[in-house]
């Protein structure tokens, strides 16, 4: 178990009102281990490519079919790439939709005995539905769903997840998703 933990604020870029999470994770996680935890915290389903950008240095999962200069995310620990309070990085998820997240270190403290990490402390608003077209597509979805008289309302309502509520967020549910997240083999 890690001796320290990082408190992170993760904010989805390009959407209003803001979608964010405040989480606590072990400092010794590799970036590859952190990715599915971030997916779980935000509410993403996983299965899309992702990458981390730390001051212009890119970290990702090596793919022999798509050579890149990205460093292997499994070889770098959170504590190495974000060693101090205030340090930040960008986490990109689903390159097709272009979801970008700002990740900021709010604190680094000793791990508490008996606490099962990761933990979600707080958050705001639901994660956008997968494959909705990025921030622009999500804004359009919200606009249509807010107006039952909109000509595309029924089509969008049928496409959106059942009972989708953009204001919904449950901290306990996010914590469970974070703890059950496992990296997908082969990504």
DSSP element (H, E) containing 10: strand 4-12
Confidence at residue 2, expressed as pLDDT on a 0 to 100 scale: 58
pLDDT tens-digit map of 102-144: 999 999 999 999 999 999 999 999 999 988 999 999 999 999 9
> What DSSP character marks residue 54?
E
State the Cα torsion 47-13-9-120 to the nearest 10°: -50
SS3 177: helix
184 has pLDDT over 50: no
| Dist CA 66 CA 53 (whole Å) | 18
pLDDT tens-digit map of 20-74: 999 999 999 999 999 999 999 999 988 888 999 999 999 998 877 777 788 999 9
Question: Domains along the chain?
Answer: 4-126+167-180 (3.10.290.30)
Confidence at residue 157, expressed as pLDDT on a 0 to 100 scale: 87
Whole-structure pTM value: 0.91
pLDDT band at 187 (very low <50, low <70, confident <90, very high): very low
């Amino acid at each position: 178990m890690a001796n320290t933990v990082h408190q992170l604020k993760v904010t989805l870029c390009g959407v209003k009102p803001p979608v964010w999470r405040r989480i606590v994770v072990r400092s010794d996680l590799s970036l590859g281990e952190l990715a599915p935890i971030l997916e779980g915290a935000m509410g993403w389903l996983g299965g899309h490519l992702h990458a981390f950008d730390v001051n212009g240095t890119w970290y990702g999962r090596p793919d022999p079919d798509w050579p890149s200069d990205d460093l292997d995310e499994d070889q770098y620990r959170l504590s190495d790439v974000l060693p101090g309070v205030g340090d930040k990085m960008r986490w990109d998820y689903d390159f097709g939709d272009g979801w970008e997240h700002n990740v900021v270190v709010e604190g680094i403290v000793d791990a508490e005995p008996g606490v099962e990490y990761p933990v979600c402390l707080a958050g705001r608003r639901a994660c956008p539905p997968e494959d909705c077209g990025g921030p622009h597509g999500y804004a359009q979805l919200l606009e249509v769903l807010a107006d039952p008289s909109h000509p595309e309302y029924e089509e969008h309502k049928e496409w959106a997840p059942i009972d989708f509520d953009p204001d919904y967020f449950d901290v306990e549910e996010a914590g469970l998703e974070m703890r059950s997240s496992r990296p997908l083999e082969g990504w």
